[in-house]
Amino acid sequence: ATAFGPTVTTYVRQEPVPSPPDFVLWSFFNTLFCNVFCLGFIALAYSVKARDRKIAQDPASAGVFGKTAKQLNIAALCLGSIVIIIFIVLLVITTRNLQWGRP
């Protein structure tokens, strides 16, 4: 055996770190349509922070900001849906009362 034989190298491929979601589109939708108590706008701010942290290669902070944005989006969507449903119910009741001649 000689010292100049074939060399064997091993390469360990690193798994890519999954990037946490930032929910920017959902936050933008809530900002435009379900912005009860400005929750949609606040969620959009946290989503932008999460995206900035993803670009800065800080997945831990991006995950925290993304989770907060998700919770705010859920709250904004639920409250916005409730407000829209109440508005529709009041609109139907008002139009029925006006059609029947009641004040």
The residue ranges of every structural domain in the chain are 23-50+67-101
Rounded to whole angstroms, the Cα distance separating 38 from 32 reads 10
Q: Which residues of the chain have pLDDT under 50?
A: none
pTM, rounded to two decimals: 0.78
* Residues in Cβ contact with 11 at an 8 Å cutoff, skipping those fewer than 6 apart: none
* Residues in Cβ contact with 61 at an 8 Å cutoff, skipping those fewer than 6 apart: 53
Rounded to whole angstroms, the Cα distance separating 60 from 41 reads 23
User: Which pLDDT belongs to residue 101?
Assistant: 74
Q: Give the pLDDT confidence of 24-50 residue by residue, as tens digits.
A: 999 999 999 989 899 999 999 999 999
Residue 20 main-chain phi, psi, to 5 deg: -70, 150
Angle at 18 between CA 16 and CA 19, to 5 degrees: 125
